[in-house]
């Protein structure tokens, strides 16, 4: 309902899920072909390369959807926590929407990438003094990191009635300071990919603004996949791996 297919109780995900029989596994991007209902097919605009457009259907829509839902636009003060696969897309979308984007990262080396992607500022999150100076300075914060971090310190950077959106899916519980909720009346939320209508809207937006994911394409071989997995664990990736299924199985 309401173009939110991803929240259907009987949803069948195309990857790491099951068919409607709840038994047959789905392989998603690890397949060389797939049969789906027309309603669940998106049109990839011709000016978007297929390899760089592929992650838009995950990292792209995951970050685009909450920015649209909360009307991020011109002059919005947007903070993006983490500059990985999700974070770099949040920066690209935020810049294209006209927001003033600041990247918050625990890695100083991400500063160059942040500026290159269009961010106006960078905050090194391990510098507690710099972090404190940013209190009350963001209308919207998108938390894209799954690594353990001080969420309360990040939420302190929200302005009154600001929005804090989590998309990083940390496996650990998050502590929230009750007084912060009382004093700032923030909206604390999350977001799960997007519906089909919004996903197509996102692709068309990317076409208009010539936005794609920054990728590294690899062969679909055990050796290459293991290499990619090891680098992901070490955060040694900029910013998404894409498996070259077609050429790997010729």
Domains of the chain in sequence order: 1-41 (no CATH), 57-190 (3.40.50.720), 214-250 (no CATH)
Q: What is the 3-state secondary structure (H, E, C) of 134-168?
A: CCCCEEEEEECCCCCCCHHHHHCCEEEEEEEEECC
How is residue 92 written in tokens?
Answer: 């690209």
Measured between its terminal Cα atoms, the distance across the chain in Å is 41
What residue has token string 């929005």? 163
Element (H or E) spanning 224, and its range? helix 222-233
* Residue 244 β-bridge partners: 219
The helix or strand, by DSSP H or E, that contains position 104, with its residue range, turns out to be strand 100-105
Q: Comparing C-alpha atoms, which of 77, 190, 182 is closest to residue 139?
A: 77
What is the DSSP code string of 50-103?
HHHHGGGGTHHHHHHHHHHHTT--TT-EEEEE--SHHHHHHHHHHHHTT-EEEE
Q: Calculate the CA 44 to chain-centre distance.
A: 19
Tell me the torsion sign for CA atoms 87, 199, 28, 48: negative
**Residue 202 · residue 3 · CB < 8 Å:** no
pLDDT in tens, the chain (250 residues): 789 999 998 888 888 889 889 999 988 777 777 788 899 999 999 999 999 999 999 999 999 999 999 999 999 999 999 999 999 999 999 999 999 999 999 999 999 999 999 999 999 999 999 999 999 999 999 999 988 888 999 999 999 999 999 999 888 888 888 999 999 999 999 999 999 999 999 999 999 999 999 999 999 999 999 999 999 988 888 899 999 988 887 7
158-166 and 187-190 beta bridge pairing: parallel
């Amino acid at each position: 309902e309401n173009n939110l297919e991803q929240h259907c109780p009987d949803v069948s995900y195309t990857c790491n899920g099951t068919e409607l029989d709840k038994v047959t596994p789905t392989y998603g991007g690890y397949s060389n072909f797939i049969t789906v209902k027309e309603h669940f097919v998106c049109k990839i605009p011709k000016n978007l390369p297929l390899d760089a457009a592929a992650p838009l259907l995950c990292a792209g829509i995951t970050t685009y959807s909450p920015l649209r839902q909360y009307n991020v636009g011109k002059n919005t003060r947007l903070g993006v926590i983490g500059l990985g696969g999700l974070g770099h897309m949040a920066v690209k979308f935020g810049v294209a929407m006209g927001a003033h984007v600041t990247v918050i990262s625990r890695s100083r080396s991400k500063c160059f990438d942040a500026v290159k992607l269009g961010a106006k500022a960078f905050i090194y999150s391990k510098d507690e003094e710099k972090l404190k100076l940013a209190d009350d300075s963001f209308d919207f914060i998108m938390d894209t990191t799954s690594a353990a971090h001080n969420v309360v310190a990040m939420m302190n950077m929200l302005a009154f009635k600001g929005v804090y959106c989590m998309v990083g899916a940390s496996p650990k519980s998050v502590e929230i300071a009750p007084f912060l909720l009382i004093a700032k009346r923030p909206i604390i939320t999350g977001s799960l990919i997007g519906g089909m209508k919004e996903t197509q809207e996102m692709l068309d937006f990317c076409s208009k603004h010539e936005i794609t994911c920054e990728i590294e394409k690899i062969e679909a071989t055990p050796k290459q996949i293991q290499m990619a997995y090891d680098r992901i664990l070490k955060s040694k990736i900029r910013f998404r791996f894409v498996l070259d299924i077609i050429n790997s199985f010729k």
